[in-house]
Amino acid sequence: MGIHSLSSNVEAIKKMPSPINIKELKAFLGAISYYGRFIPMLHSRCGPFYDLTKKIRLVHYDPSKEIFIATDASNAGIGATMFQIAESKDEKPIICISRTLNDAEKQYSVTKKEALAMIFAVKNFNTFTDDILR
């Protein structure tokens, strides 16, 4: 007797496809949350996944603080985020941008897609970077 897991529910979780977006990740985390009582430290193990479901909190730009830009490219799109370094040495996002690739750009090599993401960032962040690049 007592509390136990239903094998049909466990099998359903095992057969779930790997989540590929926030909605699917939230569904997966919801499905496994009941089983926290059966799996030691489940919630601490899932901490990084819960962090992914949180909205990004942007900070106001402070020209006195150091900034840097991170870019990324995939087969579907490009993106960039500008960060500033806080007093705590944490990286705080100021602005995030992204766009999908057109059909021609999807044919680019990985290196060209990454370069395209850098160009996209510099063009869009020019109000922040003009003083630095002079």
CATH topology of domain 67-128: Ubiquitin-like (UB roll) (3.10.20)
Is the confidence at residue 134, as pLDDT, over 60? no
Give the mean model confidence (pLDDT) for residues 91-111.
95
pLDDT at 7: 66
Contact, 79 vs 56, CB < 8 A? no
CB-based burial, 42-61: b 16+ in 10 Å, e otherwise: eeeebeeeeeeeeeeeeeee
Is the confidence at residue 133, as pLDDT, over 70? no
pLDDT at 6: 63
pLDDT at 13: 74
Question: Checking phi first, is residue 69 left (phi over 0); if not, alpha (psi -120 to 50) or beta?
Answer: beta
Is the confidence at residue 131, as pLDDT, over 70? no
Give the mean model confidence (pLDDT) for residues 9-14.
74
% of the chain at pLDDT higher than 70: 90
Q: Taking the model in full, what pTM does it have?
A: 0.61
Report DSSP state, residue 38: T
pLDDT at 42: 74
Give the mean model confidence (pLDDT) for residues 56-63.
84
What separation in angstroms does the CA of 98 have from each of 57, 64, 119, 120?
17, 26, 12, 9
Is the confidence at residue 1, as pLDDT, over 60? no
Distance CA 61, CA 82 (A): 10
Contact, 94 vs 128, CB < 8 A? yes
Domain boundaries, the chain: 15-53, 67-128
For the chain, list the strands marked E by DSSP: 67-73, 77-85, 91-100
